[in-house]
């Protein structure tokens, strides 16, 4: 089926598709130029908390598959109907497609650019890519790796073929660095990517004697997949969890030829460094105000790590409920943390460290800047471990259904598809 494109900033009325005017008498959109300004949601709480997004997706009539607004529907179902949001290469409909990590650069483009790591395919033939998404238009650009075209898969850039790309970061040299899970679960790979050409250079592989292996004199370490970050000096942070050797955070030099222990909990002296809690199955690395933030399981906690001393400070610990466990994101606008990602669910929590108040996006009324529970495509139970990015205005960009980007606005609870 030919895919109809919906440009988020230049949509025309869908009356021809059978969309009648719906909603209440008071507007619930602040943007009078929106093609959906005349389709408000009917409840007073929506008029009292209007949305700045292009459509109001908080009510049933606008979410309806037949007569609703396409941007309000589930991305998976919208793709099945032949619609795309934004232009350019897409992984919508690809087998087991997943957005897995990445970063938001708000200085690139009108409203910023998301660089997202992608994996797709079967368990024995995984492929991957780095994709750039323009936040203002939803348009997508192939950066490097394997992409899907009308005539089948094609490669962008030269060099070894990616398997599943788990994460991507930009280094101080302006190159991109991709963290890749190979088809062997015990190996991970690190690539330098030229953002202009997509050309890939393998600079490190775990458990391969052709590359430096971290603290190899202490035994063969089992590196973890889901912890990866870069600092301002271009050094790489990964983690290990090795039976008999404990858990820890490791740092590779910018050229990946040397490795040192940053933080560790172990009975082996050379693998012990720093004090404070350190969760098992370390993951979700990111830098916030010079500290490395990490999350994990057993126990389910988020910690801040001083990368010079290895000391850890507890940011958040579960108080009986099961928190998200994949990412910890600092929201400067709201002075709050977002904890996101849990298997087989949409799990996005806000945590105010000043008041210690915690709520998920479905609740509302706990934090003054999040008065309503969420509505629209962010509700769909398909986030899993996909990435979430925080805009400077406090909105979230959420990887939904594996192959789309949805914007969620905390002040209204509204969400819309911005790229598919």
Residue 284 falls within a domain, yes or no? no
Half-sphere exposure for 306 (CA within 13 Å, toward CB)? 10
Report pLDDT digits (tens) over 304-355.
999 999 999 999 987 777 788 899 999 999 999 999 988 777 889 999 999 9
* pLDDT attached to residue 16: 29
For the entire predicted model, the pTM comes to 0.93
* 203-212, 324-333, 376-385: least confident range: 376-385
Residue 255 falls within a domain, yes or no? no
Residues ≥6 apart with Cβ < 8 Å to 271: 215, 218, 245, 246, 248, 261, 264
Average confidence score pLDDT of the chain: 91
Q: Which residue has the tokens 């990490």?
A: 294
pLDDT score of 380 more than 90: no
pLDDT, average across residues 248-264: 97
Determine the Cα–Cα distance for residues 54 and 62; give it in Å rounded to an integer.
12
pLDDT score of 1 more than 70: no
User: Taking Cα atoms as reference points, which of 39, 300, 2, 305 lies closest to residue 150?
Assistant: 2
Residue 258 falls within a domain, yes or no? no
Read off the pLDDT band of 384 (50, 70, 90).
Answer: confident
Residues ≥6 apart with Cβ < 8 Å to 196: none
pLDDT score of 10 more than 60: no
Query: Which burial class, exposed, middle or buried, applies to 173 when counting CB atoms under 10 A from its CB (0-12, 13-18, 19+)?
Result: exposed
Q: What is the DSSP letter of 51?
A: B
Residue 31 falls within a domain, yes or no? yes
Query: What tokens were used for 183?
Result: 């088809």
Report pLDDT digits (tens) over 37-89.
999 999 999 999 999 999 999 999 999 988 999 999 999 999 999 999 999 99
C-beta of residue 380 within 8 angstroms of C-beta of residue 400: yes
pLDDT score of 17 more than 60: no
DSSP class per residue in 275-287? -S---EEEEEEEE
Residue 35 falls within a domain, yes or no? yes
Read off the pLDDT band of 14 (50, 70, 90).
Answer: very low
Q: What percent of the chain has pLDDT over 90?
A: 80
* 113-122, 124-133, 209-218: least confident range: 209-218
Q: What is the DSSP letter of 271?
A: G
Residue 77 falls within a domain, yes or no? yes
Residue 93 falls within a domain, yes or no? yes
Half-sphere exposure for 147 (CA within 13 Å, toward CB)? 18
User: Taking Cα atoms as reference points, which of 191, 339, 198, 317 lies closest to residue 256?
Assistant: 191
Cβ-count burial 314-333 (b if 16+ within 10 Å, e if not): ebbeeeeeebbbbbbbbbee
Residue 299: asked if its preceding bond is cis (omega within 30°), the reply is yes
Using DSSP's 3-state secondary structure scheme, residue 386 falls into coil
Read off the pLDDT band of 3 (50, 70, 90).
Answer: low
Query: What tokens were used for 255?
Result: 């050229």
Q: What percent of the chain has pLDDT over 70?
A: 94
Residues ≥6 apart with Cβ < 8 Å to 257: 212
Q: Which domain holds residue 187?
A: 4-211+318-419
**How many domains is the chain built from?**
1
C-beta of residue 148 within 8 angstroms of C-beta of residue 91: yes
* pLDDT attached to residue 124: 87
pLDDT score of 20 more than 80: no
Read off the pLDDT band of 31 (50, 70, 90).
Answer: very high
Residue 309 falls within a domain, yes or no? no
């Amino acid at each position: 089926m030919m895919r109809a494109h919906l440009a988020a900033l230049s949509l025309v009325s869908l009356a021809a598709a059978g969309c009648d005017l719906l909603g209440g008498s008071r507007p619930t959109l602040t943007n009078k130029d929106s093609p959906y300004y005349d389709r408000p949601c009917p409840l007073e709480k929506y008029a009292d908390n209007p949305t700045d997004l292009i459509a109001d997706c908080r009510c049933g009539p606008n979410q309806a598959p037949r007569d609703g607004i396409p941007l309000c529907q589930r991305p998976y179902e919208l793709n099945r109907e032949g619609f795309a949001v934004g232009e350019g290469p897409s992984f919508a409909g690809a087998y087991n497609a997943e957005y897995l990590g990445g970063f938001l650069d708000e200085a690139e483009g009108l409203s910023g650019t998301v660089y997202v790591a992608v994996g797709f395919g079967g368990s024995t033939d995984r492929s991957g890519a780095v994709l750039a998404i323009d936040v203002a238009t939803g348009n997508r650009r192939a950066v490097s790796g394997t992409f899907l075209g009308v005539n089948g898969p094609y490669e962008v850039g030269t060099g070894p073929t990616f398997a599943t790309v788990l994460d991507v970061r930009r280094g101080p040299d302006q190159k991109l660095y991709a963290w890749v899970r190979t088809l062997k679960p015990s190996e991970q790979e690190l690539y330098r990517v030229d953002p202009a050409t997509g050309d890939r250079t393998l600079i490190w592989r775990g458990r391969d004697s052709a590359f430096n292996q971290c603290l190899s004199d202490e035994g063969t370490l089992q590196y973890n997949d889901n912890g990866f970050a870069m600092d301002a000096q271009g050094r790489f942070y990964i983690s290990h969890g090795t039976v008999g050797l404990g858990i820890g955070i490791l740092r590779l030099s910018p050229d990946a030829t040397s490795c040192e222990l940053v933080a560790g909990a172990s009975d082996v002296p050379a693998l012990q460094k720093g004090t404070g809690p350190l969760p098992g199955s370390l993951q979700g690395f990111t830098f916030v105000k010079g500290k490395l933030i990490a999350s994990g399981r057993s126990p389910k906690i988020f910690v801040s790590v001083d990368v010079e001393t290895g000391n850890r400070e507890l940011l958040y610990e579960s108080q009986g409920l099961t928190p998200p466990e994949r990412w910890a994101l600092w929201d400067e606008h709201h002075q709050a943390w977002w904890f996101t990602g849990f298997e087989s669910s949409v799990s996005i929590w806000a945590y105010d460290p000043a008041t210690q108040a915690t709520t998920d996006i479905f609740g509302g009324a706990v934090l003054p800047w999040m008065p309503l529970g969420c509505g629209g495509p962010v509700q769909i139970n398909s986030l899993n471990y996909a990435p979430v990015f925080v805009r400077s205005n406090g909105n979230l960009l959420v990887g939904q259904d594996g192959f789309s980007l949805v914007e969620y606005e905390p002040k209204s609870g509204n969400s819309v598809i911005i790229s598919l």
